[in-house]
Chain A
Amino acid sequence: MARSRPSKLQALLGTAVLACLHAGIAGAAANDSGLENLSLQELSDLPITSVSKKPEPLADAAAAVYVITNDDIRRSGVRSLEGALRLAPNLQVAQQNNEVWDISARGGNTSLADKLLILVDGRIVYTPLFGGTFWDSQNVMLEDVDRIEVTSGPGGTLWGTNAVNGVINIITRKAKDSQGALVVVDGSGHGGDVAARYGGEAGGADYRVYGTLKDNYPGSSSMGGKVADGMHIAQTGFRSDWSDFTLQGDAYQVNEDQDLPGRARFTGLNLLSHWQTRLAGGSDISVLGYYDRTDRYQPDNYGELLDIADVEFQDTLPQLGAQALVWGASYRYAMDHFQNLPGSGLLVLPGDKNLAWPSLFGQDELTLSRDWRLIGGVRLEHNPYDGNQFLPDLRLAWAFAKDDLAWAAVSRAVRSPSRIEEDAFEPSQPPFSLVGNPDFQSEVAWVYEAGLRMQPSAQWSYSVNVYHYDYNNARSLDATTLPNTPPFTFGNNLAVDSDGIEAWGTYKPLDNWRFQLGYSALHESQRLTSPLALSASTTLYDDPAEWWTLRSDYDFADGVELELNLRHVAALPNPAVPAYTVTSLRVGVDLSRQLELSVIAGNLFYGPHTEVGAGPDTAQFGRSVFVKLTWRP
């Protein structure tokens, strides 16, 4: 998939990429401002319970949380989950082509980004194959997404390992909040979608079923010609909710072009159940269990059949004096069947491996005084590669004024090893230039963060977070015996320091006019800690020094909306990609009560640009116009 060929070493890493190919912190309140600042649509979407019940308001969360609401997604006119994630100022989102997106927070953003944990309604979609997310298989019906809570910074204590740089919780609507029919059709010269959903009531439960079809046509390569990235996605799913029980599932098939002959085919299905109840003693019990199968097949490359079963138990005890305690246990089990295909450049041995990640966590929130809270927690997780890992986390929050919060935290965050790092060989026959390292260790970062969240007036609110990451055993690419001489392997001989700032704010000069600004800057430095470590180890830190976004939403009378979206990303070092600024514009018109028309013009003022990568697989993005119709009969 993601391939670059400028140098031998990069080709090596690239080939590995080719082959490789859990916030309780965040609250449920999707808005952090007064009700009167919401639009009519937002008001009509606001569950009463989010106003009157406890879920911790965003304003109280001692972490860098940004919430993308359903309305944000609708207004932006995005047509993919990855596109929706661009709305979070604390994420880095770079599209290489239709199939490959690099998404991370706080650096380390390549298609191998492995320190961001993504959950869809509690289901972890992080793959143990290479450590990271196969974005081409993560499709959700955006109209039925309630909100996306994006927490940058460590979330491992609550969500498990690999939430080093952040956690993304994609939360879909309850079935009772997605009743009736909905049909979305959109299209442009680059592809099109059809999506339909129906929600109803039967047998004491609310339910919805949905189906989507999506086509992305091959893009234009930055080197001329076409990118082999045409793809077709078909997905269907359901959700049904009883009073304290939820059952939901999805099934999909993705067909993708690849550079090699034939088309890649990815199929998958998942089934999730979630039971929540309150015991007589006041404990809130949650039991989440799911099964997730992904079957990836790339002709001449590799096949992988991966079955994952996960059970998570959580007990939130009733507040006892100044203490609020939550604890839980989970067991995650994977059966990985890697199929080594003839003609492939890669070998994974053993092909079949069963993996287990048992885990236990506890967290206490101690109210020190009216304004001060101390939140301490720890998770103990066992991984199949280097055993037990402790993930402690300590946070101090000071609500120094109403709606104003300052917080600071220190955490030990862990990214556990993946199969590729341990079990891969390349090429598929000796002599190998790359051999997996059974002694590869978890990458560990000590993370120091502080944040400030202010709402100086009803019109204006902002957040500023700063962070420092300190790794002394980050992943390196090492020579095994003699410096710079193959075979190479993965090691832990890279020290990384990163410092950064994330800031975002909302300004509403008028009821019908909202500005949202986001700015991030990042500085990373790497140091090889062994003479065997290759300087190419640092290519996994291909990050811009800064990026910013500006969105303006304006509502005219008579159901016309105008959204302007500006996004600037500074240059990438390696492979070099120049800075770019993208402007897009959406005009939404309510043609009738049932029918909404959107016209979205992308990349208005600049010529074609690439976002990440170099080579024939790197697409360039020029002007585009697409039209979207949403029908809610």
Chain B
Amino acid sequence: MRALTSSLPRALISALLGICLAASLGASAQGDQDALTAQRRIEAAYLYKFGSYITWPAEAFSGPDSPFVIGVAGDDDMADELTALVAGRSMNGRPVLVRRVHAGQSTTGVHLLFIAAGTPEGDTLIDGARDKPTVTVAEGADGLDRGADMSFVLVNDRVRFDIALDVATRDGVKVSSQLLSVADKVVGGKP
């Protein structure tokens, strides 16, 4: 499907994907070889869901109608997937934007930042987000050690995530206990 649509303008891709891909996991999974792995597809869904379980301070938004921004570094296909996934959706009354983040770009204004494993500038991006209300999400068991707030891990063939508890108290960002309850590991004390 992706091969078929790769030559079409992006907006059209989004619209098509918004209809088919978002609607159907099964069909796309068994269909043509997708560029995105199953793991990243599940992670994309997680990223979108995380927005509902994390509260950002009002200062993190320039206005009441300004968008909720998810940044994706290191995997443009995942950014496309997520773009399609959020098309037409809102998060707590705000439109949702997906932004590709590349080396050297500022992450200011990004609320949730995904850094794919193996992204060369990954650690720099994590460090750069430290003093901002940006929740960083890495991949791998060492994600939290590298300074990320959250990290996807594979457990028993399932995509789970670890979470650093101090994300809940930092820069006015609040994490719901429901998110903590689903986490595989909560690091930094008991909730």
Contact = CB atoms under 8 A, between A and B. Distances in A.
Interface of A: 27, 29, 31-36, 38-41, 43-49, 51-52, 54, 56-60, 176-177, 179, 402-403, 455, 457-458, 511-512, 555, 557-560, 590, 592-593, 596
Nearest to B181: A590
A556 to B, nearest CB: 8
14 contacts: A29-B29, A34-B24, A36-B49, A44-B160, A49-B38, A57-B26, A57-B30, A59-B24, A176-B157, A557-B178, A592-B181, A593-B177, A593-B181, A593-B183
B180 interface: yes
B159 to A, nearest CB: 7
A43 B45 contact: yes
Interface string B19-61: 0111111110110000001110110111011001100000000
B187 interface: no
A31 B177 CA distance: 25
Contacts, number: 135
Contacts of A39: 49
Contacts of B161: 44
A331 to B, nearest CB: 33
A41 B182 contact: yes
A458 B177 contact: no
B23 A458 contact: yes
Contacts of B49: 36, 39-40, 43, 511
B186 interface: yes
Interface residues of B, number: 42
Contact of A40 (B22, B23, B179, B191): B179
Given A403-B20, A555-B178, A557-B178, A43 B159 contact: yes
Contacts of A60: 26, 30
B176 interface: yes
Given A44-B160, A58-B26, 9 more contacts: A34-B22, A34-B25, A34-B85, A35-B42, A49-B38, A458-B22, A592-B190, A592-B191, A596-B181
Contact of A590 (B20, B178, B184): B178
A60 to B, nearest CB: 7
B88 to A, nearest CB: 9
A54 B38 CA distance: 13
A176 B156 contact: yes
Contacts of A555: 178
Contact of A403 (B24, B29, B176): B24
Given A31-B25, A51-B41, A60-B26, A43 B46 contact: yes
Contact of A46 (B158, B181, B191): B158
A32 B24 CA distance: 7
A59 B26 contact: yes
Nearest to A595: B181
Interface string B151-187: 0001011111100000000000000111111111010
B176 to A, nearest CB: 5
B35 to A, nearest CB: 13
B180 to A, nearest CB: 6
A593 B178 contact: no
A39 B50 CA distance: 10
A57 B23 CA distance: 13
Which of A31, A44, A59, A592 lies at the interface centre, i.e. has the most chain B CB atoms within 10 A of its CB?
A: A44
A51 B181 contact: no
Contacts of B182: 40-41, 44
Contacts of A47: 156-158
Nearest to B85: A36
Nearest to B50: A40
Contact of B41 (A35, A40, A558, A593): A35
B178 A559 contact: yes
Interface of B: 20-27, 29-30, 37-39, 41-42, 44-46, 48-49, 52-53, 85, 154, 156-161, 176-184, 186, 190-191
The 3 closest A-B pairs by CB, nearest first: A57-B26, A35-B45, A52-B38
A23 to B, nearest CB: 16
A392 to B, nearest CB: 28
B38 A45 contact: no
Contact of A177 (B48, B156, B191): B156
B20 A402 contact: yes
Contacts of B52: 511-512, 557
A511 B46 CA distance: 12
Nearest to B21: A34
Given A43-B42, A557-B53, A457 B23 contact: yes
B23 A403 contact: yes
B158 A33 contact: no
Contacts of A511: 49, 52
A455 B157 contact: no
Given A176-B156, A402-B20, A51 B38 contact: yes
A254 to B, nearest CB: 33
Contact of B23 (A46, A58, A455): A455
A221 to B, nearest CB: 42
A219 B97 CA distance: 57
B48 A36 contact: yes
A45 B44 CA distance: 15
Contacts of A557: 52-53, 176, 178
Which of B154, B158, B179 lies at the interface centre, i.e. has the most chain A CB atoms within 10 A of its CB?
A: B158
Contacts of B38: 48-49, 51-52
A179 B156 contact: yes
Given A403-B27, A590-B177, A590-B181, A45 B41 contact: no
Nearest to A58: B26
B177 A559 contact: yes
A44 B158 contact: yes
A598 to B, nearest CB: 14
A294 B22 CA distance: 48
